[in-house]
Amino acid sequence: MFDNFPLWPQRASTMAGNVDALYIFLLMVSGLMTLLISVCVVFFAAKFRHRPGVQAEPIEGSTPLELTWSIIPMGVFLVIFSWGAVVFFQERTPPRDATEVYVVAKQWMWKLEHAEGQREINELHVPVGRDVKMIMTSQDAIHSFYVPAFRIKQDVLPGRYTVAWFRATKPGTYHLFCAEYCGTQHSGMIGSVVVMEPAQYEVWMSGGSTGPLSASGEKVFAELGCATCHRPDGQGRGPNLQGLFGKTVQLEDGRTVTADENYIRESILDPGAKVLKGFKPVMPTFQGIVSEEQLNALVAYVKSLSSTRPGNAMAAGSTSPPAKASAQRSQVQ
Ligand code: CUA
């Protein structure tokens, strides 16, 4: 239904139908209420119009009437609320085993880097039928990652990561817009998402990679000398990063936080903000030293050290990208 309706963008993700159904329901409720109210206005205006010899009689409240117009709308609003909440949580919760793409927005382009190492500008290639999670940040202003055909829109902020995900259902090329005014060329900050058949995608993937993102991260990690403090044997001045990602950790000031992408990021740029329990705030900041791309690579590397991501703890020889990364790592060590 409505698939060729020109007011709706194409539907090309698993989420699109759910969003549209809710939207159509809202339109129908609003339409019905508008109709009901305008019919009543016209009908009452005609019925109770001023005529010679007819006197209007005011009434003083009616409990059944007031209950009706309170309880029915409340029910309708609660349906809208619960339905909206379900769709919202689906959109907000990326599946755990989703493929990851790091996105850096800047005035005025989208820079994308796959966990497998492929880099793209203003174009994102994805396979049909696979969950894709985008970990996004901005180098300057606030931008917004918007793919109408997938019904996703997420603000992209400087200084932290925001996340969006989708699973494409139809091969094709879809618009990618910036949906937040971000300067004079905002309207030109356009790209496309190319959804490919899995076999075609594998071919695309096999070309032009500089190695997994986590491997670039490992290189940055070594170049910056991080390993002198973050020693894998736990004897360093900084915490051992093996298996850290995804864990709930205790901080020096008694708080607990989840070691997620934003925590790793903050700990690199502002190391004193959330010091792990048992450690001293001795780490220098890397603000201004690492670029957004290097930061993403470092986050991907720390992530690859953790066994919470599927495929990571598996032995070398597995074909999944994180396992490849850890196989490479063991060669380096
Ligand atoms: Cu970026 Cu608007």
Spatial contact of 21 and 29, defined as CB atoms under 8 Å apart: no
CA of 152 to the centre of ligand 1 (A): 15
Q: Are residues 161 and 181 in the same domain?
A: yes
175 CA to middle of ligand 1, Å?
14
d(CA 113, CA 296): 9
Which residues' Cβ are closer than 6 Å to ligand 1? Answer: 105, 108, 143, 178, 180-182, 186, 189
Query: Both 259 and 195 in a single domain?
Result: no
- Domain assignment present for residue 259? The answer is yes
CB 274 within 8 A of CB 251: yes
Domain holding 225, by residue range, is 213-304
Residue 179 Cα to ligand 1 middle (Å): 6
Using DSSP bridges, classify how beta strands 131-138 and 256-258 pair: parallel, antiparallel or unpaired: unpaired
Q: Is residue 20 part of a domain?
A: no
pLDDT at 57: 79
Are residues 171 and 112 part of one domain? yes
> Do residues 181 and 105 share a domain?
yes
Residues 59-93 have pLDDT tens digits of 888 899 999 999 999 999 999 999 999 999 999 99
Distance 111 CA to ligand 1 centre (A): 13
The one-character DSSP state at 176 is: E
Measured from the CA of 142, which atom of ligand 1 is nearest?
Answer: 1
118 and 191 together in one domain: yes
3-state secondary structure 195-250: EECHHHHHHHHHCCCCCCHHHHHHHHHHHCCHHHCCCCCCCCCCCCCCCCCCCEEE
Low-confidence ranges of the chain (pLDDT < 50): 308-333
Judge whether 28 lies within some domain: no
Do 121 and 195 fall into the same domain? yes
119: in domain: yes
For residue 68, tell me if it sits in a domain.
Answer: no
Tokens standing for 52?
């010679």
At a CB cut-off of 8 Å and minimum separation 6, what does 331 contact?
A: none
Nearest CA to ligand 1 atom 1: 143
Asked, for residue 51, whether it belongs to a domain, the answer is no
Q: Are residues 187 and 243 in the same domain?
A: no
Distance of CA 112 from the midpoint of ligand 1 (Å): 15
Same domain, residue pair 236 and 201:
no
Supply the CATH number for residue 280's domain.
Answer: 1.10.760.10
Domain assignment present for 316? no
* Ligand 1 atom with least separation from CA of 181: 2
**Can you give the pLDDT at residue 5?**
64
Are residue 263 and residue 189 in the same domain, yes or no? no
Are the CB atoms for 164 and 178 separated by under 8 Å? no
Question: Considering 158, 188, 205, which residue would you say is the last residue of a domain?
Answer: 205
Minimum-distance ligand 1 atom for the alpha carbon of 108? 1
Residues 114 and 145 in one domain: yes
Atom of ligand 1 nearest to the CA of 180: 2
CATH code of the domain containing 199? 2.60.40.420
Q: Which of 205, 223, 246 is the last residue of a domain?
A: 205
195 within 8 A of 130, measured Cβ to Cβ = no
Same domain, 103 and 149: yes
Query: Are 253 and 191 spatial neighbours (Cβ–Cβ below 8 Å)?
Result: no
| Amino acid in the structure at residue 53 | G
| Residue 322 resides in a domain | no
The number of beta carbons lying within 10 Å of the beta carbon of residue 244 is 20
Domain count of the fold of the chain = 2
Domain boundary among 205, 223, 242: 205
Instruction: Say whether both 191 and 166 belong to one domain.
Output: yes
CA 182 to centroid of ligand 1, rounded, Å: 4
